[in-house]
Amino acid sequence: MRRTPTRTAPARAAAVFALAALLAGCGLGDEGPDDGTVTLDYLSLAWQAESVEANKALVDRWNAANPDVRVRYVQGSWDNVHDQLLTSFMGGEAPDIIHNDASDLTDFAYGGYLADLTDLLPPELRADIPEQAWGTTTFDGGVYGVPFLQEPRVLIANAALLADAGVRIPTTDDPWTWEEFEDVAADLTRDTDGDGETDTYGVAWSMSEPVSQSVNLSLSTGGQLFYRDGGENEVRYGAADSAVAELIHRQVNEDGTAPRSSLGMGGSDTLPGFFADRYALLPLNFSFRQQVAQQAPDGFGWSVLPMPSGGGDEGLAQGVAPQTLSVAQDSDHRQAAADFIAFLTRADHAVELARGDWMLPTSTTALADPSLSTEELGWRTGVELAAALRPSPVLGVRGYPEWKDKIATPAFQEYYNGAVDLEDLREELTDDGNRILDRYQR
Amino acid sequence: MSTTTARTTARTAERTRRVGRVAGRTGQYAALVLYLVFLAFPLLWLISTSFKSPQELASIDPTWIPREPSLDNYRAAFDAQPLLRAAFNSLLVAGTSAVIAVAIAVPAAYVMVRHRSRVTRAGTAWILVSQMFPLVLIIIPLFLILRNLRMIDSLPGLIMVYVVWSLPFALWMLQGYVKAVPRSLEEAAAVDGASRLTTLRSVVLPLLTPGLVATLMFAFVTAWNEFFFALVLLKSPEKQTMSVILTLFVGDEGAADLGPLAAAAFLATLPSLLFFALLQRRLVSGMLAGAVKG
């Protein structure tokens, strides 16, 4: 039987394809040159174009100045970094330099996967970053990451709606109190066409991830949820811990000054409603300014305001989990990796990275850079809030991810939706929650 | 009179039947159109999004047709990430793994169908059991095995994983197609003096074409879309596949560079669409019609 070309062609194509794959795979091996040059992998989670550009530019500068220690830029993603790192650590193939955030370091640090940087970092870097920030990456006396960028939560405000309502514009020196904020939200809430439906809500709380907001904002009213007792963590949910959560619950379920529909949204999802005058105020992370600036319609006026104060010296306090740079314990070149981190976080470089990510540098020198003190795009408000930022109470709590996913997230979502009351929420967070934490602390 | 009445009644019944047929057919088409719209909606919305400006994407009244369509998102996507290289890597990995998986699955499925024994029955059971293991359970052992084979961060390593990953289902799928090939055809070939291998190659394989194409498509699309293995096993930026590259347009807390993401995602769907368009003709069954006289 004579074979037709159509029958043999796929087989030949398959063979060529397989061969090409093998050749391509073999040809792309990453064995470095055998000339004593060290190659370090830097896993970066930068994702916004300006930020990626800033990171790559710094890597290029390092490589130009350090021909013996080359850094290879490896792009990672915030969505999957934990699983990616976990697998790489277990397999002994982790990148040398790891970009992450402080809340993800706890288990990796306790698990022995990250190098203690205490003796690897230059003293001037240690001195330039406040102790508060170092507290976010210090576990059992070891320093497992350099906290280099952080961001407060702020209120992004529709300038025209605030002006129409004639409300006082808060500053970091004279912020709204939480009570005043409730009144302002009521003033901003409008039924403009008189059809009995609210057309503009005072505030839209995006609560797709409600836990970190609820915990971090509780600091302003003297709460913290996680308390250390005899070296062990315990969740308590007293009046100071729940004050902000109660306010949000009231705004959604009693006052009608915040829409229920936004509770399931992420920060980005609330922006269309914000631009359409449906929401007057958005509590968002400082870096969301980038999206607001990029997506705002021409001529749309917006400003950055501090979150309300709970009163007293710590009234503006809020918890943060800074972005960090760590070194893998398995790295063969830990000192070189730490040197690269010191280079990246040098004050002038930290400013470049902060501007690229629309965040605040932790470095005191960098924070004083004139380019960050400008009124433009709300930079100054952020810089003025930097002193009020505290390590998030969740940092260093073993079992926090499980507590958050299994207990706190559904419990807070139900509470904000009005499905359960405060007593039920407290019971869930503490009774069931502490059982989970206990398991990690035995 | 009675004849006329009977004729009228028959005509009325015929007309009713015809109307019923037309209505039924119309209903079928309407359902089909609805189903097509349902299937096409995400793709059409993706295409529409990829041509919209950031301002339009943040509009509270989204429109199907972009108000000011532009290619800026495509430019931004190409500027931000090496899309062409990632597409080439994906094509290489998905194409090769699909071909290898099918090449292994065909003889295996044939043996499992035609030579039933305890071993083949155990093999079939194992195929089913293997589908129950979640990804997270196998990723670390797999990572360690590949590291020992020095195949971490290599495309052949990833191809191997995809072959192993898609093989059980490919095998399962092909068994059904092999079963549908009449045994009498093979017996006729044997009577004509064909060896087992010749029978498989010249009689069974041509009849399996729809099954082969379907399995090939399944294996290709599985590998093309796969994300987690590629993320974990590949380190070098120049080896990353399309699915990994797409996640780089997404930041933390759900923030995303939506326009360029839509543009890149649309480009990522093109090879699968082309693959289906080229091979769907081969999926047509009924090749056995007339092969065996009843």
Residues B128 and B227 in one domain: yes
- What average pLDDT score do residues B119-126 get? 86
Residues B37 and B181 in one domain: no
- Low-confidence winner among A11-20, A29-38, A393-402, B257-266 (lowest mean pLDDT): A11-20
Q: What pLDDT is attached to residue A393?
A: 95
Cβ–Cβ gap B251/A48 under 8 Å: yes
List all residues 6 or more positions away from A146 whose beta carbon is below 8 Å from its beta carbon: A117, A121, A125, A129, A137, A324, A325, A326, A341, A342, A345
- Is B266 a domain residue? no
Q: Exposure pattern of B137-174 as b/e (b: 16+ CB <10 Å)?
A: ebbeebbbbbbeeebbbbbbbbbbbbbebbbbbbbbbb
Q: Identify the residue with better confidence: A342 or A398.
A: A342
**pLDDT digit string (tens) for B67-79?**
989 999 999 999 8
What percentage of chain A has pLDDT greater than the value 90?
80
Q: What is the mean pLDDT of chain A?
A: 91
Structure tokens that stand for B266 in this block: 């649309």
Overall number of domains in chain B? 2
- Is B209 a domain residue? yes
- What average pLDDT score do residues B47-71 get? 91
| Domain CATH code at residue B146 | 1.10.3720.10
Cβ B221 vs Cβ B270: under 8 Å: no
- Is B9 a domain residue? yes
B256 contacts on A by Cβ (under 8 Å): 268
Residues B104 and B210 in one domain: yes
- Is B100 a domain residue? yes
Distances (CA, A) of A249 to A131, A257, A266, A414, A416: 35, 10, 18, 10, 5
Q: Which of A24, A29, A267 sits opposite B254 (nearest CB)?
A: A267
B99 contacts on A by Cβ (under 8 Å): 14, 17-18
Q: What pLDDT is attached to residue A202?
A: 98
Q: What pLDDT is attached to residue A259?
A: 97
- Class assignment of domain A153-319+394-441? alpha beta
Residues B41 and B123 in one domain: no
Q: What pLDDT is attached to residue B232?
A: 87
Mutate to test the interface with A, among B49, B60, B246 (most CBs of A within 10 A): B60
B139 shares contact with chain A (CB less than 8 Å) = yes
pTM for the full predicted model: 0.82
B144 contacts on A by Cβ (under 8 Å): 90-91
Cβ A299 vs Cβ A278: under 8 Å: no
Cβ–Cβ gap A21/B157 under 8 Å: no
Residues B101 and B53 in one domain: no
- Is B153 a domain residue? yes
Distance from CA of B111 to the nearest CA of A (A): 21
Residues B45 and B132 in one domain: no
Residues B102 and B46 in one domain: no
Mutate to test the interface with B, among A52, A101, A279, A294 (most CBs of B within 10 A): A294
Residues B118 and B244 in one domain: yes
Q: What pLDDT is attached to residue A16?
A: 47
Residues B104 and B188 in one domain: yes
B247 shares contact with chain A (CB less than 8 Å) = yes
A196: left (phi over 0), alpha (psi -120 to 50) or beta: left
- Is B287 a domain residue? no
Distance from CA of B293 to the nearest CA of A (A): 23
Nearest Cα residue in chain B from A86: B140
Q: How confident is the model at residue B203 (pLDDT cuts 50, 70, 90)?
A: confident
Q: What is the mean pLDDT of chain B?
A: 87
Cβ–Cβ gap A25/B250 under 8 Å: no
Q: What pLDDT is attached to residue B126?
A: 84
Residue A23 reports pLDDT greater than 90: no
Q: What pLDDT is attached to residue B140?
A: 83
- Is B281 a domain residue? no
Residues B37 and B154 in one domain: no
- Low-confidence winner among A18-32, A52-66, A70-84, B183-197 (lowest mean pLDDT): A18-32
Q: What pLDDT is attached to residue A10?
A: 47
Nearest Cα residue in chain A from B256: A268
Q: Which of B55, B80, B240 sits opposite A295 (nearest CB)?
A: B55
Residue A358 reports pLDDT greater than 50: yes
Q: What pLDDT is attached to residue B279?
A: 78
Distances (CA, A) of B17 to B9, B13, B14, B20, B22: 12, 6, 5, 5, 9
**pLDDT digit string (tens) for A421-433?**
999 999 999 999 9
Q: For residue B60, how many other CB atoms are within 10 A of its CB? A: 12
Q: What pLDDT is attached to residue B199?
A: 87
Q: What pLDDT is attached to residue A8?
A: 46
- What average pLDDT score do residues A210-235 get? 93
Burial of A168 (0-12, 13-18, 19+ CB in 10 A): exposed
Cβ–Cβ gap A28/B249 under 8 Å: no
Q: How confident is the model at residue A4 (pLDDT cuts 50, 70, 90)?
A: very low
Give A181's Cβ-side CA count (13 Å radius). 28
Residue B292 reports pLDDT greater than 70: no
Nearest Cα residue in chain A from B146: A91
Q: Which of A28, A77, A88 sits opposite B250 (nearest CB)?
A: A77
Residues B27 and B97 in one domain: no
Residue A27 reports pLDDT greater than 70: no
Tell me the CATH number of domain A38-151+321-385, given options 3.40.190.10, 3.40.50.2020, 3.40.1160.10, 3.30.43.10: 3.40.190.10
- Is B253 a domain residue? no
A-to-B residue pairs, Cβ atoms closer than 8 angstroms: 144
Residues B98 and B49 in one domain: no
Q: For residue B79, how many other CB atoms are within 10 A of its CB? A: 11
CATH 3.40.190.10 maps onto chain A at 38-151+321-385, 153-319+394-441
- What average pLDDT score do residues B28-41 get? 92
Give CB contacts under 8 A, 24+ apart, made by A230-238.
A232/A437, A232/A441, A233/A397, A233/A398, A233/A399, A233/A437, A233/A441, A234/A434, A234/A437, A235/A403, A235/A429, A235/A430, A235/A433, A235/A434, A235/A437, A236/A430, A237/A425, A237/A426, A237/A429, A237/A430
Q: What pLDDT is attached to residue B255?
A: 79
Cβ–Cβ gap B59/A271 under 8 Å: no
Q: Which of A7, A74, A80 sits opposite B235 (nearest CB)?
A: A74
- What average pLDDT score do residues A179-198 get? 95
Distance from CA of A229 to the nearest CA of B (A): 31
B154 contacts on A by Cβ (under 8 Å): 25-26, 28-29
B52 shares contact with chain A (CB less than 8 Å) = no
Domain encompassing residue B34: 2-57
- What average pLDDT score do residues B194-216 get? 88
**pLDDT digit string (tens) for A370-406?**
999 899 999 999 999 999 999 999 998 989 989 999 9
Q: What pLDDT is attached to residue B284?
A: 60
Nearest Cα residue in chain A from B95: A17
Cβ–Cβ gap B60/A17 under 8 Å: no
- What average pLDDT score do residues A158-165 get? 97
Cβ–Cβ gap A75/B240 under 8 Å: yes
Q: What pLDDT is attached to residue A229?
A: 82
Structure tokens that stand for A353 in this block: 């990275």
Q: What pLDDT is attached to residue B201?
A: 86
B251 shares contact with chain A (CB less than 8 Å) = yes
Cβ–Cβ gap A18/B100 under 8 Å: yes
Cβ–Cβ gap B156/A21 under 8 Å: yes
**pLDDT digit string (tens) for A69-121?**
999 999 888 888 998 899 899 888 899 999 999 999 988 999 999 999 999 99
Residue B290 reports pLDDT greater than 70: no
- What average pLDDT score do residues A32-50 get? 84
Residue A25 reports pLDDT greater than 70: no
